Structure 1
Amino acid sequence: MSGSTTPPQYDLIVIGFGAAGLSAALSFAEETEGRKTPAKIAVLERSGKEERGGATRWTGAFLRIDQDRKLDTDWAEHVSRVSGGLADIEYCRTVERETRQTLQFVEKHGVEIAFEDFPLPHTFDGGTPSMTPPASPRGGGASIVEHLGAALENDPRVDIRYETEALRLTTSDDGRVDGVLVRTADGRTQRLTGHAVVLACGGFEGNAEMLTRYVGDKACDLPLIAPGITNNRGDALRMALELGADTAGQFDGIHAEPVDRRTRKADAVLYGFSTGIFVNAKMERFFDEGRDTWDNTFEHVGYEIWKNQDQEAYWIADAKTLAIPGITNAWLSDVPPEQAETLEELAGKLGIDAEGLEKTVAEFNAAVGPGEFDPTRLDGKATVGIEPKKSNWATPLDTAPFIGVPLTAAICFTYGGIRTDLDGRVVTPSGTAIPGLYAAGEATGLFYHAYPPATSVLRSLIFGRLAARHAAAQQSV
């Protein structure tokens, strides 16, 4: 730190080193390239360099796109449907419009988009169940962090400040945001001044107090899906609300995912569950495992495990699931499922009631209706006469080896956040933009009732760019 009493001057201050922040900082650098007076950019990151990147660093980052880099044509309407019309449809259409050029931007910086086979159908392609290989960055979100981060590190106009905590925004006499008060690793505070600030530091997943306040009872029981989101403390929301910002998104809503509780590995999600059954600690089924494709149900499974099953569940399947080509690609844990020749032996390995499991499986098997089992489509093979029913892929669990995974729910992100306009400007309840203040990524609210997936990283990248573009246009050449 400088001994000078004059605060550092920046053209843009970006708070957060995940997809939204990186996109904003790098886009602003490109938008201001060639100016007579080089633009100065600060990027603030709560963590140290080794842990930088927040949630982005740990996610597999599915992308809801086709080979031409176009967003799923059904996504905007999907968000509107599941939200009951509460979500900002124009925001969603902006995501659709900006997807291709945003992905070209990250690819230009070395992020490779891969399309790899997945063993179960999804609805990323026009809303219709499909076996089309889904897209993701090769190397996951870490590829975005490292490639875009390297570009910023190599730019002399960019000042990356690790272990720097944003405390509050500062404003000029006329209400324009003109900087940030920060606390550095030595515990001291410092004011950074800038022409514009982008809030891109995630939601409040890592703040138990805010989770309890908004999400409610038992929020403290939610483990984090990845260590990076420990630093998502709700700073963006807190600082924006202090200036009268409006909010969007469902504040008691969260994106939770079913994860293997035998491991500490980040993002150890069980996606490939559709062909088995879930049981709780009482060995009772509690969810229609086949009500829709995995992408439209895995979040609901996670939420149910947390909210109503005391964070304890088990997934049970048999040899027919093991025979699905590539099924292990849908299990992200570093520990393979427990495997046994009998249900009794499997129960012993899982530490659960063998008699109760055998009874539930027998009742399920007896309720399986007619039809051909086909894990590549919604096959309509359902149960009859039991609750909850299983609407598709109901096949008897009667063929050894039997497999099982003990599960808990982990929080990935919160739904509620700051409201912005289509340029990423933070707005008040009247819709008035707060001058000099922008927000992008999970710091901003969008979703209600459900998160149609494979768009979190994408919308973060997109609105980081849009915020940077607008901020650059407001500043003199």
Structure 2
Amino acid sequence: MHTIDDYDLVVVGCGAAGLAAAVSYAEATQGRTRIAVLERSAEQDRGGATRWTGAFLRITEERRLDPDWPDRVRRVSGGRADYDYCRKLESEVPETIRFIEDRGVKLVFDEFPLAHTFDEGTARMTPPGRPDGGGKAIVEALASSLEQHANVDIRYRTEAVRLTLSDDGVVDGVVIRDGDGRAKRLGARAVVLACGGFEGNYEMLTRYIGERACDLPLIAPGIANNRGDGLRMALELGADTAGQFDMIHAEPVDTRTGSADAVLYGYTGGIFVNQQGERFFDEGKDTWDNTFELIGYEIWRNQNQRAYWIADAKTLAIPGIENAFLSDVPPERADSLAELAGKLGLEAEALEKTVAAFNAATGPGDFDPSRLDGKSTTGITPPKSNWATPLDTAPFIGFPLTAAITFTYGGIRTDLDARVVTPNGTPIPGLYAAGEITGLFYHEYPPATSVLRSLTFGRIAGTHAARTA
């Protein structure tokens, strides 16, 4: 096949992981090398999933990863997750934060209205970190830094088709298609796969996740380009896999808007009901950060992709609660449950019956969303283990919800230098992977670390590739 250009590094993907890899490589080689970054989208939409996320970061104001996170991943995965990988992330996060701050990303630590466990695994109100401007700020800062190097090409509207090998079995290029539809080859001394999971490929979702995968909307437009190309190409070379292939990270989102990332986090004081107006989840079993994914998955898997969140004036009284409603449309409001049911499309009598049973089951104690308050129900199923306060004070509020896919769990296995490995742990020469294309999680995703691990292992990949070039 005709080789149209030769590069020292080709990066497949232009999100946090790919850009971190390219920037690290360019700076480590002091701009003396040629780099290509392949982006399936147009320039104005570059950045994949990173561009659209709010990018909560599970860090302290000292720029360190929550020290409980590696152990939490090990606990919820039943010991299946790569613990050394998690500890590597923990040790590298301070350098990762310096990496983005030095390139113009400003971090903010705004107060959040509800308790979370980002601080040593204890429910508390520590302000979580995030980039000012969300993930888009990371994409534009790193892309601008990369574009300062003369020998870098960001090739838009370009898809990767397959990897090529030299006669001695080293990855030495990528076959691509761009606007003319013809297959052509880019030569490379190293390749970094950083093109996300397979959220945008319903054939792969059906194969791994199961029936009705086609009913999963995407949480943001950018992940439509995550077609599983990197996973497919790596498997063709004998790469190993990691992570739970039949599990996804799904989030409960507002059905009334087409805006990206319209997630409901602020559900502590209310209840969830299905289309029959019946509760189906213990809304107080843990803090929102440890349950929002489970709620999203339950809505998709068992509730026919429709659910409703119901609350009252006590939720509206929580200072700053609007910051936990990420939709650009405010919640529906009504002076009665029957009126709210009509606005949401629920049967009024069923909703009133469910709320009455819930109210009767709530116990004594003060409602305190700043901690696990122990205010629980008795005698109903499912229970509500914390924050069980009666819904009896107008105005009543609600969101209609569905589950949107954010990322897939299953992916490529890498070592601690971000090198793609075979089933016996041998690195495939010249091939790296970083970000959500790499598998890690089983059963649950302890959140606010996806962008962190993408940046971190992208940076590691680029640095290692430069060192061994």
Question: Which of 238, 245, 262 is the matching residue for 2:256?
Answer: 262
- In the alignment, is the contact (CA less than 8 A) between 2:57 and 2:130 conserved in 1? yes
1:17 aligns with 14
Unaligned runs of 5+ in 2: none
Question: Would you say the 8 A contact 2:12–2:37 is kept in 1?
Answer: yes
Give the superposition deviation at 1:186.
1.6
Question: Among residues 204, 213, 226, which one is paired with 1:232 in the alignment?
Answer: 226
Partner of 1:288: 282
2:360 to 354, 357, 366: 366
CA deviations on 1:167-218 (whole Å, 9 max, x unpaired) are 0000011110000000001212210000000000000000000000001111
CA distance in 1, matches of 2:365, 2:51: 43
SS at match of 1:7: strand
Question: What is the match of residue 316 of structure 2?
Answer: 322
Match of 2:467 in 1: 473
The CA deviation string for residues 319-371 of structure 1, in whole angstroms up to 9 with x for no partner, is: 00000000000000000000000001111111110000000000000000111
Aligned residues: 469
Other structure's SS at 2:251 match: strand
C-alpha separation in 2, matches of 1:407 and 1:155: 45
Aligned-pair CA distance for 1:270: 0.1
Structure 1 position 50, deviation (Å): 1.0
- Paired residues for 1:1-400 under 5 Å: 6-33=3-30, 38-400=32-394
Cα distance in 2 for residues equivalent to 1:243 and 1:28: 24
- Secondary structure, in 3 states, of the residue corresponding to 1:443? coil
Residue 456 of structure 1 is matched in structure 2 by 450
> Does structure 1 conserve the Cα–Cα contact (< 8 Å) formed by 2:199 and 2:226?
yes
Rounded Cα–Cα distance in structure 1 between residues aligned with 2:272 and 2:189: 53
**Counterpart of 2:118 in 1: which secondary structure?**
coil
Give 3-state SS (helix, strand or coil) of 1:441's partner: coil
Tell me the CA shift for residue 376 of structure 1.
0.7
Structure 1 CA distance for aligned equivalents of residues 403 and 459 of structure 2: 32
Does the aligned pair in 1 maintain the 2:36–2:155 contact within 8 Å?
yes
1:436 maps to 430
Structure 2 CA distance for aligned equivalents of residues 350 and 76 of structure 1: 40
Q: Secondary structure at the match of 2:64?
A: coil
The Cα shift of 1:154 comes to 2.3
What is the TM-score of this pair, normalised by structure 2? Answer: 0.99
Match of 2:413 among 411, 419, 427: 419
Matched to 1:171, the amino acid is L
AA aligned opposite 1:22: L
> Could you report, residue by residue, the CA deviation over 1:73-116 in whole angstroms, capped at 9, with x for unpaired residues?
00000000000000000000000000001110110110011100
- Per-residue CA shift, 1:23-70, capped at 9, x if unaligned? 000000111116xxx100000000010111000000000100001100
Distance of aligned partners of 1:311 and 1:6 in 2 relative to their CA distance in 1, 3 Å threshold: closer
Letter in 2 for 1:297: T
Contact 2:247–2:443 (CA under 8 A) maintained in structure 1 = yes
Name the amino acid aligned to 1:452.
P
Task: Give the drift of 1:6.
Answer: 4.7
| Deviation (angstroms), 1:130 | 1.1
Write the distance in 1 (CA, Å) between the matches of 2:224 and 2:212: 18
Note the residue ranges of structure 1 that are not aligned, 5 or more in a row.
none
- Partners of 1:8 and 1:103 lie apart in 2 by 34
RMSD: 0.9
Q: Deviations over 1:425-471 (max 9, x none)?
A: 00000100000000000000000000000000000000001111111
- On the 8 A contact 2:311/2:397 being kept in 1, the answer is yes
Q: d(CA) in 2 for partners of 1:399 and 1:322?
A: 11
Cα deviation for residue 140 of structure 1 reads: 0.3
Q: Tell me, in whole angstroms, the C-alpha distance in 2 between the residues paired with 1:45 and 1:70.
A: 31
Determine the C-alpha separation between the residues in 2 that align with 1:275 and 1:68.
31
User: Structure 1 residue 7: deviation in Å?
Assistant: 3.1
Counterpart CA distance in 2 for 1:327 and 1:6 is: 56
Any idea what SS the aligned residue of 1:400 has? coil
Q: Map Cα deviations across residues 113-160 of structure 1 (whole Å, 9 max, x no partner).
A: 110010000000000011011000000000001111111122111111
The whole-number CA distance in structure 2 between the counterparts of 1:161 and 1:188 is: 15
Check whether the contact 2:2–2:185 (CA below 8 A) recurs between aligned residues.
Answer: no
| TM-score, normalised by the number of residues in structure 1 | 0.98
Distance 1:287 1:5 in 2: 57
Q: What's the secondary structure of 1:239's corresponding residue? A: helix
How many angstroms apart in 1 are the aligned matches of 2:46 and 2:3?
A: 28
Distance 1:6 1:176 in 2: 17
Deviates further, 4-13 or 307-316: 4-13
Measured in 1, the distance between the counterparts of 2:389 and 2:182 equals: 62
The whole-number CA distance in structure 1 between the counterparts of 2:307 and 2:30 is 53
Task: Summarize deviations over 1:212-268 as a string: whole Å, max 9, x none.
Answer: 000111111100000000000000100000000000000001000000000000000
Aligned equivalents of 1:201, 1:313: Cα separation in 2: 32
Partner-residue secondary structure (3-state), 1:445: coil
Paired residue type of 1:441: G
1:444 counterpart SS class: coil
